Amino acid sequence: MSGKEKEWKKSNKIDENLTAEETFYEFKEKYKITNDNIEEARKIMAIRYHIAEEGYSSTKSVTIAQNISVESVHIFNEQNDSFPGINIMEVPVRSYPKGTLASHILGYTQNIGEQEYKAEKDNGYKLDDYYGKSGIERVAEKYLKGTDGTKQIDMAVDGTITDEYIQTGAVQGADVVLTIDANLQAITEQALKNNIEKIRTGQFGEAFDVTGGAMVVMKVDTGEILSMASYPDYDPAKFTFGIDNETWVSWAGNNMKNRAIQENYPPGSIYKMVTAVAGLETGVIDKNTKINDTYRYTYYKGYQPTCWKVGGHGYLNVTSAIQHSCNYFFYETGRRLGIDALAMYTKHFGLGRKTGVELIGEASGKINERKEGEVWNPGDTIQAAIGQLNNQFTPIQMAKYTSMLANGGKSVKPTLIKAIKKVDGTEIPKKEYEAYFNEKLGIQEEVADGINIKEENLRTVLEGMRSVTNESGGTAYQYFKNFNIEVGGKTGSAQVENERKEVVKVHAWFVGFAPFDNPEIAVVILVENGGHGAYTAEAARDVMAQYFGMNTIQIAEDVTAVPYTQIQN
């Protein structure tokens, strides 16, 4: 017998040695249920137990059924005299008219759980209240919940309702205004889904067994998230009246996961701009430094990795090395830097730490760094320099990093919340709700590290990103060569190895920003086991086209473009 079962029997004054069947008949006798039909007796027993638990009285009603059919409503209304004490009420419930749109952002609500009720009962919650379980629904529950009203119900001695009237009016909760653009969100979700399907079916060339993906679109100057998609998704409306077990089991480990913030992935080559910036800033290379890629890196006798291009790229400077994603160039730059300098600049871009986005469950990630007193293998540094080894980051961290590259090196805090408006139209001060979210999420304010990247060094790196998409030989050139807006970007194919050092997955990345000369947005896409980073560039291009009004793709859903999405009670 589990401790929980033992505690339950004790609280209900049931002999702990009774079997489940004996416990059933104990309750049947306790509630004086004379019906011999076991199933009907069980239903009556469940209602009686629920009433006892809720504390039903002449002044306190209890909900015994929800979301009943229209036919049942008619029966109760027509035969009201036969059901003394029963009253049918229409109550507002959360609806999600756009279905799966932004499901990982919005989250879902469900009946408040036991632990949640214990923590919240002093804040006006009742056992039959709905409560935010994930997404904005959860983190902003405090603001979304309104104040219940009270209704006086007069009854005759037989339980028939004779009159009812409002004593205290209910007060609506606040509106949480999001930074999300609903139309762009729909396009982002569709572009991600289409891209995954094309990779899975080999439409780019080689087919890969894709398991999921994520995409983030962020304003580079403010960190405002315009869209954030995770695939596969789910329908939050399924939770409103209780999700069936089969659906829950199929969703729990996959669809419910917000891959944009909750999953860490090796970055591969999209990390190379960190190595480039660090090399330029510390002076171990400059914009004219050329390194001869001879394919096999032979500096160390015991460990000699190769470039991805058989035969090597020959002499390259840092801009060309980014364009061609030359491993050899960054092996050598990483060796010259050392792990400590590389780790310092990694942290500067916010990698390996939570961004503070207003969602519960954000992963921290991890970086390659030397711990105090630890002996570091120099050969590991050259793997770290190309985004491998222990580097593990979330797509939203990569969106922040890309935004910082594009905006001149200014740190931004990714955010989903534009404003919180009370029912009287006034806004809750931003500092107030930001402090609340930071405390709730355990986020510490970012402390300036004193690093100010020189404009000329940043420009050198960005030129490399421009050539990725705009010059022949760039790893994403074929997808942007006829694009009307100049884009800076970088592809990445990050290997995942098993314990035997065998490659079991290759995650595909693209990070980019546009327009190149006056950046507005950063776009990041990650496809799990997508094979080649270049495959994901097409989806990023389509989302950029939507943002800039080029309408490369259309969607079938009826989605009205609005500047933001609201959640309200």
Check whether 554 has a pLDDT greater than 70: no
Between residues 250 and 349, which one has the greater pLDDT? Answer: 349
Q: Could you tell me if residue 398 is inside a domain?
A: yes
Same domain membership, residue 497 and residue 426: no
Taking alpha carbons only, the member of 360, 347, 341 closest to residue 441 is: 360
pLDDT confidence tier of residue 533, bands split at 50, 70 and 90? very high
Share of the chain above pLDDT 90, in %: 62
**Same structural domain, 295 and 425:** yes
Of 416, 441, 466, the domain-final residue: 441
The mean-pLDDT minimum among 80-94, 116-130, 323-337, 538-552 falls in: 80-94
Task: Tell whether the model's pLDDT for residue 52 goes beyond 90.
Answer: no
Q: What is the pLDDT of residue 86?
A: 75
Of the listed ranges 11-25, 183-197, 401-415, 489-503, the one predicted with least confidence: 11-25
The burial of 36, by beta-carbon neighbours within 10 Å (0-12 exposed, 13-18 middle, 19 or more buried), is given as: exposed
d(CA 88, CA 86): 7
Are 422 and 502 contained in the same domain? no
Tell whether 409 and 359 lie within a shared domain. Answer: yes
Rounded (5°) CA angle 146-148-154: 165
The answer to the question of residue 375 being in a domain is yes
Q: Which runs of E-coded beta strand occur in 294-353?
A: 314-316
CA pair distance 478, 510, nearest whole angstrom: 14
pLDDT digits (tens, 9 = 90+) for 348-396: 999 999 999 999 999 999 999 998 888 899 999 999 999 999 999 999 9
Same domain, 337 and 300: yes
Burial 431-460 (b: 16+ CB within 10 A, else e): eebbebbeeebebeeeeeeeeebeeebbeb
Q: Provide the pLDDT confidence category of residue 245 given band limits of 50, 70 and 90.
A: confident
Picking from 441, 462, 497, the residue at the C-terminal end of a domain is 441
Provide the H-helix boundaries in 238-317: 245-252, 272-282
pLDDT for 25: 85
Residue 57 pLDDT:
66
Residue 546 placed within a domain:
yes
What does the pLDDT read at residue 362? 97
Residue 111 domain flag: no
| Confidence (pLDDT) at 164 | 63
Least confident of 181-195, 463-477, 531-545, 555-569: 555-569
Q: Are 421 and 427 in contact (CB under 8 A)?
A: yes
> 255 lies in a domain?
no
Assess whether pLDDT exceeds 90 at residue 133.
Answer: yes
CATH number where 503 lies: 3.30.450.330
Look at residues 441, 457, 490 and tell me which one is the last residue of a structural domain.
Answer: 441
Question: Are 272 and 222 in a shared domain?
Answer: no
Which is more confident, 7 or 367? 367
Average pLDDT over residues 442-459: 92
Q: Is the pLDDT of residue 248 over 90?
A: no
Task: Kindly state whether residue 48 falls inside one of the protein's structural domains.
Answer: no
- pLDDT per residue over 522-531, tens digit each? 999 999 999 9
Q: Give the domain range for residue 360.
A: 268-441
Of the chain, the end-to-end C-alpha distance in Å amounts to 42
Mean of the pLDDT values across residues 253-273?
96
Q: What is the pLDDT of residue 165?
A: 57
Decide: 124 and 137 in contact? Cβ < 8 Å.
no
Lowest mean pLDDT among 116-130, 347-361, 448-462: 116-130
User: Is the same domain home to 238 and 272?
Assistant: no
User: Quick one: 297 and 375 in the same domain?
Assistant: yes
Looking at the structure, do residues 297 and 385 belong to the same domain, yes or no? Answer: yes
Q: Are residues 341 and 489 in the same domain?
A: no
Averaged pLDDT, 130-155: 81
**Is 293 in the same domain as 426?**
yes
Look at the block and give the residue holding tokens 């730490």. Answer: 353
418 and 352 inside one domain: yes
Locate tokens 């860490």: which residue?
264
- Cα separation, 345 vs 448, whole angstroms: 12
| CA distance linking residue 557 with residue 535, whole number of Å | 25
- The reported pLDDT for the residue numbered 161 is 59
pLDDT of residue 551: 62
Token pair 């364009």 is found at 323
Question: Between residues 56 and 419, which one has the greater pLDDT?
Answer: 419
Q: Is residue 211 part of a domain?
A: yes
> Among candidates 355, 353, 352, 312, which has minimal Cα distance to 331?
312
Give Cβ neighbours of residue 478 (< 8 Å, ≥ 6 apart).
534
Q: Pick the range with the lowest mean pLDDT from 41-45, 413-417, 544-548.
A: 41-45
Q: Which pLDDT band, with edges at 50, 70 and 90, does 553 fall under?
A: very low
**Residue entry with tokens 């139209």:** 425
Domain of residue 399, CATH code: 3.40.710.10
Count of structural domains, the chain: 2
149, pLDDT greater than 80: no
Within 8 A by CB and 6+ apart from 404, the residues are: 349, 350, 410, 411, 412
CA distance 41 to 241: 24
In a domain, 171, yes or no: no
Whole-angstrom distance, CA of residue 348 vs CA of residue 273:
13
